[in-house]
Amino acid sequence: MVKAPGTFSFVHAADLHLDTPFSGVAASAPFVAAALRDASLRAFEAVVQIALSRKVDFVLFAGDIYDGAERGLRAQIEFLDGLQNLSDAGIASFIVHGNHAPLDTGWSAISSSWPELVTIFPAVDDHLSAPAVVPVIRDNVQIATVQGLSFKERSTTENLARLYRRPEGPGIHIGLLHCNVEGSPSVHSNYSPCSIKDLLDTGLDYLALGHVHDRRILHGDGAPGDPWIVYPGNTQARSMNETGAKGVYVINVADNVIDDPEFVACDEIRFVQREIDTSQIESIIELVENLRHVEQESLARAESRSIILRVTLVGRSELHAELARGDALGEILATLRARPPAAAPFCWWEQIVDRTQPAVDLDEIRARGDFAGDVLRLTDEYLRNDDARVAMLKQVAAAIPRGLKREFLVLMDDPDFAVDLVTEARLRALDEILGD
């Protein structure tokens, strides 16, 4: 069946970080180290498979293809193989380079042998002051254009978005860019900063961004025809701070209208962080049972991926003292790691973090004549007496900054919220007063 010119699809990927070393976790066990070393490359293979099986028209790579400017040889060869497979299937690839592998550093073993349907966008320099615009042609009709700019050097602080313009001609107009949109420089390195307005001002229909490792749709879920501004996030998580599924967006276009981006996971290994409230757990044996249960549950939720698991123990608990004895945590961890898995999907216990607090006897404190006793007796009144609690919350609301006040007043209407707030606040206050 011949598709209408305005009906097609593409994959938007970014931040592949091929050959990521995983320095923190890799030292743990040989089978984990080997799996992690391959994970970024397997994730890229999955991107190629998604493009092939969905029969998309082209694939966008929005920067940080390689993890370092050094570009490991293995990563380069596997990347080239993947692009060749796409090209052989008639699927074009468009690539910009970002801060992790800018154009003018490192080396490239494959620069002279890119497959036919691959476009690598150059960086701005003395000869180039605007992005190159490449048309996508199907059955002699232009269905889209893609424009992009690479980073010339690592620290590109110029606002590259201002150089993008809507070209003449039919089809969907796409801008491919590695950039930091209204980002906090403390969280994401402030390379090529720009605002949402800068991106809207380009007049383009789809801004395919890279750099931020969480997937985010910054604009476009409004009216049909509204421009889309999208970060797909990275294809494979790189550390304990990057939890949950990672993948690409598949974008379907029907009659020149871009449908909601469809997230498709392509990661190989997932990082998972969980908490266990230990306040009802009475023994180390019971704790280990709970930890094993969390392991099974986390694996079941990971869609057949292997996981790297960190569990944080919280809550006031009798266990607090037991966990502090000797190397209890180390021994529990060794127990959980004792049965190495034969095959993927596996669970690797990365760490157990103890944030438990000592159990407190509220009746004993209440009976005391000191400040801690006063705090308990006062908050008992708030928990028992609805009017007293509402009056207290009104005083709190008066002290809350304007921007947050409306949100607080909405929450305050929920009686459960108010009770939880008082319960939590008094435990924190007791911690401060009593110390550890």
Binding stretches for Mn ion (CB under 5 A): 15, 64
Q: Write out the two tokens for 276.
A: 């266990």
Of the pair 47, 319, the CB lying nearest Mn ion is at: 47
| Cβ within 8 Å of residue 262, ≥6 positions away | 249, 250, 251, 252
For residue 411, the minimal CB distance to Mn ion (Å) is: 36
For residue 238, the minimal CB distance to Mn ion (Å) is: 8
Of the pair 17, 270, the CB lying nearest Mn ion is at: 17
Mutual orientation of helices 415-434 and 402-412 as an angle, nearest 10°? Answer: 110
Q: Are 11 and 47 spatial neighbours (Cβ–Cβ below 8 Å)?
A: yes
For residue 13, the minimal CB distance to Mn ion (Å) is: 12
Q: Are 126 and 92 spatial neighbours (Cβ–Cβ below 8 Å)?
A: no
List, in sequence order, the alpha helices (H) in 170-306: 196-201, 284-301
Nearest position to Mn ion, beta carbon: 64
For residue 327, the minimal CB distance to Mn ion (Å) is: 37
Of the pair 144, 176, the CB lying nearest Mn ion is at: 176
Of the pair 62, 319, the CB lying nearest Mn ion is at: 62
Whole-number Å distance between alpha carbons of 231 and 235: 11
Instruction: Map residue 2 onto helix, strand or coil.
Output: coil
Of the pair 15, 350, the CB lying nearest Mn ion is at: 15
Q: Write out the two tokens for 328.
A: 């209890």
DSSP summary character for residue 18: B
For residue 268, the minimal CB distance to Mn ion (Å) is: 17
Query: CA-CA-CA-CA torsion for 136, 210, 110, 104, nearest 10 degrees?
Result: 110
Of the pair 236, 278, the CB lying nearest Mn ion is at: 236
List, in sequence order, the alpha helices (H) in 167-318: 196-201, 284-301
Q: Write out the two tokens for 147.
A: 């424009």
Instruction: Map residue 168 onto helix, strand or coil.
Output: coil
Read off φ and ψ for residue 103, nearest 5 degrees.
Answer: -70, -30
Whole-number Å distance between alpha carbons of 79 and 84: 9
For residue 210, the minimal CB distance to Mn ion (Å) is: 7
Read off φ and ψ for residue 314, nearest 5 degrees.
Answer: -130, 175
Q: Cis check for the bond before 345: say yes or no (omega within 30 of 0).
A: yes
For residue 181, the minimal CB distance to Mn ion (Å) is: 14
Of the pair 28, 239, the CB lying nearest Mn ion is at: 239
For residue 42, the minimal CB distance to Mn ion (Å) is: 18
For residue 14, the minimal CB distance to Mn ion (Å) is: 7
Of the pair 145, 235, the CB lying nearest Mn ion is at: 235
Of the pair 269, 421, the CB lying nearest Mn ion is at: 269
Q: Are 313 and 356 spatial neighbours (Cβ–Cβ below 8 Å)?
A: yes
